[in-house]
């Protein structure tokens, strides 16, 4: 039986979410076709001949694209079994089923996909709530080496830019889930404070095949690389021993950067050039609502620690929330400038607006329940409006400004200056850009991925 695996968007990298299940399904005897619609067109012939079409929904943007695609797939192949798998599948189950999805798989989905394939191959087409496969599985799987055959080449995806140097990027995962339960995080409704590791030899084998395909840099997609430092550190040490010229980037929360500060020099020595960290805010009250478990002072310390060891920090923010005031937004900008992080921050981060998806722990807060409207299936979130309408208008103006400036090739510093002046003009202020608190020193190019990180 032919199985078509579809990814609509996975943050600008070759989708691990197709390569991993492809290995499992081919081992089970399936004829697998992978379609990454972020860089290629839908394979209509493969869709027409498929017995199972499985769509990967790891995040908000990908799921919105899938909701538009499901009716088309049903029209093109009414007999195919449609499955949605990934982080956003179980929390959006009702909507996805109304659009044609017959099986929903979340968490550790590979074993579920194989079970589904075998069930369909045996002629058992049970659908709906009676699906025998678990909607959410947290089973400890024995991972296979991902099969990337049939996926577009790495050169078609986002690259790592360091000054004038451009490095081809591969992508893999060493773990899934997260030990933490930040209220705004979409991982929590599925994993609820648990994480699962992928065997070191499987990860190394996956990186090995990507290096052979031209990768010069590896982006680790783990929600937090230091959920299991006892797994992560031996992995990167083995990686560096085999590929000493290879660089890599990871995601680590501020809390872990401080707790495991002694490990940062090891990351740097093994090729880490960039750490993404979801800082989210520099306001104590907002951080408490998000249950982030760090403070603005912790953020400042993390900046100093990463700078001391020579790893660039890529902080991400939820710049607009119902609790972000005009002054608070300006404080965020001032902090970024004072810490000399303008070159580190992707401009889109200045306009990110809080998403409250289905299953969000933010819904536990009475104040959130009082400010949201009914779930919007088109937007895949609960809508909210800022008590100060000018803040909603500012967010929209900033997003348009940033998109326009990036199309015109403006630098991060030029864009920041425009954002700074627009934010201050809202209250008739004309403050000049602050100077960094640290002493002037020669600037090294800040590494960044050409596809910004956001949902």
Look-up of token digits 């030029």: 414
pLDDT score for 324: 98
Angle (nearest 5°) at CA 307 between 304 and 312: 125
pLDDT score for 48: 97
pLDDT score for 357: 94
pLDDT score for 265: 98
Report pTM. Answer: 0.95
pLDDT score for 436: 84
Q: Which residues pair with 171 in a beta bridge?
A: 219
Q: Which parts of the chain sit beneath pLDDT 70?
A: 126-129, 439-442, 453-455
Query: Is 102 in contact with 81 (CB distance < 8 Å)?
Result: yes
pLDDT score for 443: 75
pLDDT score for 139: 94
pLDDT score for 454: 59
Give the model confidence (pLDDT) of 34-78 as tens digits: 999 999 999 999 999 999 999 999 999 999 999 999 999 999 999
Instruction: Classify residue 282 by burial, with Cβ atoms within 10 Å: 0-12, 13-18, 19+.
Output: buried
Could you write out the DSSP letters of every residue in 284-329? HHHHHHHT----HHHHHHHHHHHHHHT-EEEEEE--B-TT--HHHH
Distance CA 184, CA 279 (A): 12
pLDDT score for 441: 64
DSSP class of residue 66 equals: H
pLDDT score for 440: 58
Torsion of Cα atoms, 370 then 371 then 373 then 377, to 10° = -110
């Amino acid at each position: 039986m032919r199985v078509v695996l579809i990814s609509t968007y996975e943050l600008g990298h070759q989708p691990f979410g197709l390569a991993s299940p492809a290995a499992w399904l081919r081992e089970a005897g399936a004829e697998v076709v992978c379609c990454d619609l972020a860089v290629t067109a839908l394979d209509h012939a493969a869709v027409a001949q498929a017995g199972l079409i499985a769509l990967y929904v790891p995040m908000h943007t990908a799921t919105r694209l899938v909701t538009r695609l499901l009716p088309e797939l049903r029209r093109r192949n009414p007999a195919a079994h449609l499955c949605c798998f990934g982080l956003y599948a179980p929390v959006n189950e009702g909507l996805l089923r109304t659009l044609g999805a017959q099986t929903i798989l979340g968490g550790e989905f590979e074993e579920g996909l194989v079970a589904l394939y075998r069930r369909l191959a045996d002629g058992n087409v049970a659908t709906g709530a009676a699906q025998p496969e678990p909607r959410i599985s947290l089973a400890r799987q024995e991972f296979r080496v991902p099969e990337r055959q049939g996926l577009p080449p790495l050169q078609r995806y986002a690259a790592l830019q360091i000054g004038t140097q451009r490095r081809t990027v591969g992508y893999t995962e060493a773990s899934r889930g997260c030990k933490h339960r930040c209220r705004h995080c979409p991982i929590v409704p599925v994993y609820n404070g648990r994480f699962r590791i992928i065997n070191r030899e499987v990860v190394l084998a996956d990186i090995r095949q990507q290096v052979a395909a031209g990768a010069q840099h590896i982006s680790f997609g783990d929600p937090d690389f230091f959920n299991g430092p006892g797994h992560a550190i031996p992995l990167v040490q083995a990686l560096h021993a085999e590929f000493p010229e290879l660089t890599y980037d990871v995601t680590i929360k501020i809390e872990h950067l401080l707790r495991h500060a002694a490990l940062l020099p090891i990351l740097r020595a093994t090729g880490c050039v960039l750490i993404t960290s979801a800082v989210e805010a520099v306001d104590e009250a907002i951080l408490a609502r998000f249950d982030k478990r760090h403070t603005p002072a912790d953020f400042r310390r993390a900046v100093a620690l990463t700078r001391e060891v020579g790893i660039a920090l890529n902080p991400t923010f939820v710049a607009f929330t119902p609790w972000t005031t005009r002054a608070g937004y300006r404080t965020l900008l001032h902090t970024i400038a004072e810490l000399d992080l303008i070159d580190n921050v992707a401009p889109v981060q200045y306009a990110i607006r809080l998403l409250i998806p289905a299953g969000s722990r933010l819904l536990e807060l009475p104040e959130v329940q009082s400010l949201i409207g009914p779930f919007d299936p088109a937007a895949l979130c609960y809508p909210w409006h800022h008590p100060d309408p000018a803040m909603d208008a500012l967010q929209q103006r900033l997003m348009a400004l940033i998109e326009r400036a990036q199309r015109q090739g403006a630098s991060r510093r030029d864009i920041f200056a425009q954002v700074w002046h627009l934010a201050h003009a809202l209250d008739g202020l004309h403050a000049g850009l602050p100077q960094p608190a640290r002493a002037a020193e020669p600037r090294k190019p800040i590494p960044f991925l050409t596809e910004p990180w956001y949902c």
